[in-house]
Amino acid sequence: MAKDMTLLWGSGSPPCWRVMIALEEKKLQGYHQKELSFEKLEHKSGEVMALNCRGQLPAFKHGDKILNESMAACFYLESEFKSQGTKLCTDNPKAHALMLQRIMECNNLSQKSGDVIYYKWKVPEGERHDSALKRNKEALTAEVKLWERYLKEAPGDFLAGCTFSLADVIVYPTIGYLFRLGLCEKKYPNLAKYYNALKSRPSIEATWPPSWLKDPKGGDVLKDI
Ligand SMILES: N[C@@H](CCC(=O)N[C@@H](CS)C(=O)NCC(=O)O)C(=O)O
């Protein structure tokens, strides 16, 4: 079945990583895959543009179905392969509601972290202001504090209850990215506990970004968040 699937991906990209975790959880190993380099602008190649006209990764295809929004791909895999591998959506309505809520909220975390991480890259030199970067950092700090609280108050070890769900598939890579870029584990002990506990989950370990394994050091752009 996984032979009809193709994933074009880039190492360290949270959206790519979440699709890879979902594929592992659903026991869909053996798919065609190609790692592309952002540095070499391979995400703007004809091969990617044919699947995703935005020239972004991941680009995922199953048979004649193209899913190039990572969250859509994760939901698709769960609904298409419901009885295979890990059940990633619970039947419990309360936990399901919480899962959907956390998944959609992840967009805030991604957006606000991107505003800090890519500030220099996104804003031309003459238009940069310390005050704007400070505001972005404050907004990210408030957002990270919220997730720290969510994990402190979580009803189980996972983001939406006692079982690993699509919320973890989708949000974990973003949390991993924050720590990779210097988020302080001591300041956010519940986030750190969650991050470290899931590192050895087989689907996560198997898909850990190869560029991070090669260079375990990471960055420090988020050290004062
Ligand atoms: N909405 C997309 C976003 C994907 C995305 O932003 N990918 C980034 C890498 S993390 C990318 O390809 N950036 C290159 C670009 O936008 O040119 C998804 O979640 O799948």
Whole-number pLDDT of residue 1: 59
CB 30 within 8 A of CB 7: no
**Index of the ligand 1 atom closest to the CA of residue 15:** 19
Whole-number pLDDT of residue 221: 94
Q: What percent of the chain has pLDDT over 90?
A: 92
CB 192 within 8 A of CB 45: no
What value does the mean pLDDT of the chain take? 96
Where do the CATH 3.40.30.10 domains begin and end in the chain?
2-80
Is the beta carbon of 57 within 6 A of some atom in ligand 1? Answer: yes
Packing angle, helices 70-80 and 14-25, rounded to 10: 10
**Distance between CA 197 and CA 157 in Å, rounded?**
9
Is the beta carbon of 36 within 6 A of some atom in ligand 1? Answer: no
Give me the residue label for tokens 């375990």.
216
Q: Is 53 exposed, middle or buried (0-12, 13-18, 19+ CB in 10 A)?
A: exposed
pTM for this structure?
A: 0.97
Query: Does the structure show a pLDDT above 80 at 68?
Result: yes
> To test the ligand 1 pocket, which listed residue (11, 37, 49, 57) has its Cβ within 8 A of the most ligand atoms?
57
Whole-number pLDDT of residue 118: 92
Where do the CATH 1.20.1050.10 domains begin and end in the chain?
93-214
Topology (CATH) of 2-80: Glutaredoxin (3.40.30)
Q: Give residue 162 CA to ligand 1 midpoint distance, Å.
A: 30
**Index of the ligand 1 atom closest to the CA of residue 55:** 17
Note the residue count of the chain: 225
**Distance between CA 5 and CA 73 in Å, rounded?**
11
**Index of the ligand 1 atom closest to the CA of residue 71:** 19
Instruction: State pLDDT tens for residues 178-189.
Output: 999 999 999 999
Q: CATH 1.20.1050.10: does it fit domain 93-214?
A: yes
